[in-house]
Structure 1
Amino acid sequence: MSALKRLAISVGDLNGVGFEIILKAHNTIKQLCVPLYCISYTMAHQAANLLHTQIPNDFHIFNVSGEFVIEAGKVSAQSGQYSYDSFIAAVELAKNNHVDGIVTLPIHKEAWMMAGINYVGHTDALRDIFKSDAIMMLGCEKLYVALYTEHIPLREVASHIESAALLPFLLKLYQTTAHEPIAVLGLNPHAGDHGVLGDEERSIEIAINQANQTIGKEIFVGPIVPDIAFTPRFRERYSMIAAMYHDQGLAPLKALYFDEGINISLGLPIIRTSVDHGTAFDIAYQNKASLLSYKNAVTAAVGFTSTDGGES
């Protein structure tokens, strides 16, 4: 049997549920990989004490400096900074080939902003670090949703729907997943009704046709009417969907598969997966957090690292 893969785990916002998930899942996760937790012993013990438990003897730590008082459920600059530092430590471990991939626990975007961090999330930071147009894809084996636009105001989405920009997104999505077929959603109700409710679908249609011509076969289908794309009959035919904006894809996805979904960054030179949920401040340190998304994220990261080469 081959040695277990090594994964760096960034601990997320310590005022949220991330460390509870890490501790409760540790005995399962260590059967799948060798986890290296990016946190100091001081902060780890402080979080464990709040959970009325102890750090396991086989809990491997990569030290991340900095200390603050954990306050369950509070948005703070200190917790935001520490979650960022933990994330960057994990990334550096992967960049230097000390680990085979990284798994990230949830951060709080406002806490990052309060700490003066000029990124809206992990994927945004990874794009800058690696100078790569990474794609955010979320879901599970039953259904994956890739996002064309992500964390931008809804009023700005329509201006981003241009065939010249959508084409490389579609090509990279296929290149990094080899999935087929892939359904591409329209932007407007009824996918525009042939221009009656908007004309952005024309740009989407052009990008789809160009992508299929470039690939040499019919991979992408659409523009699909958004309100039918998540129905049972449609999901029987398509297990991957490209959505034009954040809530168009993620609201129905999370309604269907919230507990088991994961987040995958496609098109990077490192493997990165994440849980598909937030910091859950309302239940922080109450031993109520679900472990399923985290376990699935680790399983996916191990699966990616088991393949030969290529982008994640």
Structure 2
Amino acid sequence: MKKPVIGISIGDINGIGPEIALSAHDTIKEFCTPLYFTNYHMLEKAATLLKMDIPNDFETEYIKGNFKIKPGKISKKSGKYSFESFKKAVFFAKKGITDAVVTLPIHKKAWEKAGIKYKGHTDALRNFFKKDAVMMLGCEKLFVALYTEHIPLREVPKEIKTKKLGNFLINFYNSLPAISNQESLTIPVLGLNPHAGDGGVLGEEEKKISKAIKKANKKIGLDVFIGPVVPDIVFTPNFRKNFRYFAAIYHDQGLAPLKALYFDESINVSLNLPIIRTSVDHGTAFDIAYKKNRELNIKSYINAVKYAAQ
């Protein structure tokens, strides 16, 4: 059986992306054919700094760029390079040259310095495909979809609109991998406020969330979504044992508990797109990039590639 071809965007080259790619190459090539979006000259610079060998079968796709790597530094040049790597990897997947895209971490400030208008990969993908991409993070044991992502916390209540949230829930459900019995799938939706508003005593946003849940379930034709559920109990062991998927209203509401539980193994998946895209669930790790005498955990990357390949 032919292995799927997975395009790997190299991420910010001043970070841990190149080291992860080189370290995990022999593992991931067992279940896919990786194609790395970086020019060989920049790869050689990274490998030299890392004192690592480049495998003979490490296939690359040319990305324009020739500059000095500055380990752990925010750089306009590295920001532009990571964006071009990502953009070309997406183009290859869109054209069917590769079967999926896996992204190594970029630095949002480096993108900003390079004049790139997007706040991250998911934001860019929405614009590329004119689709409402859903950001889902997690692992086999627990996945969390985020209704709002990279916006200030003060803006979150303004974004809770019945129609918009209802459409998000529908897109989330429709993008999930098929399971043998969809009728058995139940997804808790978290409330915004403490105690899910406590009947309006601590906030009114839950009324809109409740309406959105009803709208989504009616459209789907099944009672898939439940809630709004009290946020502080959702991720307790006794509650979460009955569910695999969750919908969080804002970034840290979903990701703080997820990373506390499964930081080393969770991944980022973009749903509701015409291509498959996964990513590591961590940043550029500028604090340890290119440094010696420390362990590098590549489990998130390997899981991201496995998920894409499957």
Which TM class, normalised by the smaller chain length? over 0.9
Matched, 1:237 2:242: yes
Q: What residue number does 1:141 align with? A: 140
Which SS does the other structure have where 1:205 is aligned? helix
Which SS does the other structure have where 1:237 is aligned? coil
Matched, 1:274 2:279: yes
Which SS does the other structure have where 1:16 is aligned? coil
Gaps of at least 5 residues in structure 1 are 304-312
Give distance in 2, aligned partners of 1:269 and 1:212. Answer: 24
Cα shift readout 1:132-177 (whole Å, capped 9, x = no counterpart): 0000000001000000000011100000111111111011111011
Q: What residue number does 1:182 align with? A: 187
Which SS does the other structure have where 1:206 is aligned? helix
Kindly state the Cα deviation for residue 193 of structure 1 after the two structures are TM-superposed: 0.2
Q: What residue number does 1:167 align with? A: 166
Cα shift readout 1:182-211 (whole Å, capped 9, x = no counterpart): 110000011000000000000000011111
Matched, 1:211 2:216: yes
Q: Which amino acid aligns with 1:3?
A: K
Which SS does the other structure have where 1:277 is aligned? coil
Which SS does the other structure have where 1:222 is aligned? strand
Structure 1 segments, 4+ long, off by >4 Å, are none
Give distance in 1, aligned partners of 2:27 and 2:222. Answer: 42
Q: Which amino acid aligns with 1:296?
A: N
Q: What residue number does 1:307 align with? A: none
Give distance in 2, aligned partners of 1:211 and 1:86. Answer: 37
With normalisation by structure 1, the TM-score equals 0.95
**1:40-189 map, 5 Å:** 40-177=39-176, 178=178, 180-189=185-194
Gaps of at least 5 residues in structure 2 are none
Give distance in 1, aligned partners of 2:2 and 2:221. Answer: 40
With normalisation by structure 2, the TM-score equals 0.96
Give distance in 2, aligned partners of 1:77 and 1:289. Answer: 26
Give distance in 1, aligned partners of 2:117 and 2:256. Answer: 26
Which SS does the other structure have where 2:300 is aligned? helix
How many residue pairs get matched? 302
The counterpart of 1:295, out of the listed 289, 302, 310, is 302
Cα shift readout 1:30-52 (whole Å, capped 9, x = no counterpart): 11100000000100000000110
Which SS does the other structure have where 1:99 is aligned? coil
Give distance in 1, aligned partners of 2:2 and 2:142. Answer: 31
Kindly state the Cα deviation for residue 289 of structure 1 after the two structures are TM-superposed: 2.1
Give distance in 2, aligned partners of 1:215 and 1:61. Answer: 43
Q: Which amino acid aligns with 1:152?
A: I
Q: Which amino acid aligns with 1:155?
A: R
Give distance in 1, aligned partners of 2:213 and 2:264. Answer: 32
CA RMSD of aligned residues (A): 0.9
